[in-house]
A = this chain, B = another copy of it.
Amino acid sequence: MAKRVSTKDKILNAAEALFAEHGFEQTSLRQITADAEVNLASVNYHFGSKKALIQAVMARYLEVLMPALDRELAELAQRSQVTTRAVFDCFREPLNELRQVRKHGPTIFLSLLGYAYADIQGHLRRYTMDHFGDVMQRLLATLHLANPQLSPVDMFWRLHFVLGATVFAQVSGPALREIAAADFGEAIAADQVIDRLIPFLAGGVDAPTE
């Protein structure tokens, strides 16, 4: 079983690694095609433009994550008791399934999400918002079950603080793990960051308002 990887996939794989590390705008097509060991012109041939390549990279993950998250949230909503913690635990399995896409899929995706979200230019914001808008609504509804005392506006903001802490932790993750290892002599795997994160997020969402 020889591993025949198409040029298109070679480009996607090289691109997502560079995007996750340096961001979208900071990564050039020349870097991507050099890493992928394909010709510079092949990006335009297969994807049409850099914008389209970025969207293709995101789509590969969104198409796996979204249905899985949908399933988990729907299942949770049918239970009698819904806690904030349970809502965030709904992300664990869908994120894990991103390993089907790539070995370090969960980590890569969250980094990409961070850069996509911070991207002010708009084309990616619109693209991700179109997809995430739906999930946000579902999430808001489920979190409301767990915290009926919070107003919709409060919940909206807290959900975005959650997203902020998450993607930021991921983007800064490598540097922070380095510092933590140096200061506390204890290395922590990328996967364990999310275990530290979830209790923090649940505590923040459940906190009393001002």
Contacts and interface: CB of A to CB of B under 8 A. Distances in A.
B203 A205 contact: yes
A93 interface: no
Copies held by the complex:
2
Interface residues of A, number: 55
Contact of A168 (B153, B164, B209, B210): B164
B165 A162 contact: yes
Interface of A: 21-23, 25-26, 114-115, 117-118, 120-121, 125, 152-154, 156-158, 160-169, 171-172, 175-176, 179-180, 183-184, 186, 188, 193, 195-210
Given A21-B120, A165-B165, A176-B160, A204 B210 contact: no
Contacts of A169: 157, 160-161, 164
Contacts of A206: 203, 207
A184 B156 contact: yes
B184 A120 contact: no
Contacts of A160: 168-169, 172, 176
